[in-house]
Amino acid sequence: MEEGTSKSPRHPAGTVTAAAAAVAVGSAATSRCDYGEADPFQWDTREDCEVRQILDRIGDKWSLLVIALLDMGTLRFTELRREIDGISQRMLTVTLRQLERDGLVKRTVHPVVPPRVEYQLTPMGRTLHTTINALVVWTEEHQNRIAAAREEYDRRAAKAAEAL
């Protein structure tokens, strides 16, 4: 696919240039209503959107767990793997590399035999943990209401399926 084009859910007929998509989205947003300070289109749906890529990375369940564990202090690879139930060695390696590439995790290799590798959050990674923690607190506060809403939804869906 040519750079600057995308197949977007807003444009199912085919590809559009980034400029045309911005104009279409901008005009659609202003023609529908005034969003004020909020911009619901700030999370671009194109695969090459950096904001989307970063949100995909930090919203990944393994990344969230690694960040939460490293907020408690520096850990070795084996310690992380032991603490994260269900993660494979390969997935932990990939996750740590991505977080390091994004500047959220610092990797330190100590020149001993066998090599000792430690991971810790960078200052930017610690600020992200603060944000993640707020999300966890919100989830804990609302988990019962969410469970009740799911049960109600499932009851309605089952009733609708029976009616068919």
Q: What is the pLDDT of residues 84-118, one digit of tens each?
A: 999 999 999 999 999 999 999 999 999 999 889 99
Higher pLDDT, 11 or 88: 88
**Percentage, residues of the chain above pLDDT 70:** 71
* Cα gap 150→144, rounded to integer Å: 10
Contact 57, 97 (CB under 8 A): no
Tell if the pTM clears 0.85, that is, is over it.
no
What confidence tens digit (pLDDT) does each residue in 117-156 have? 999 999 999 999 888 889 889 999 999 999 999 999 999 9
Angle (deg, nearest 10), helices 61-70 and 89-101? 70
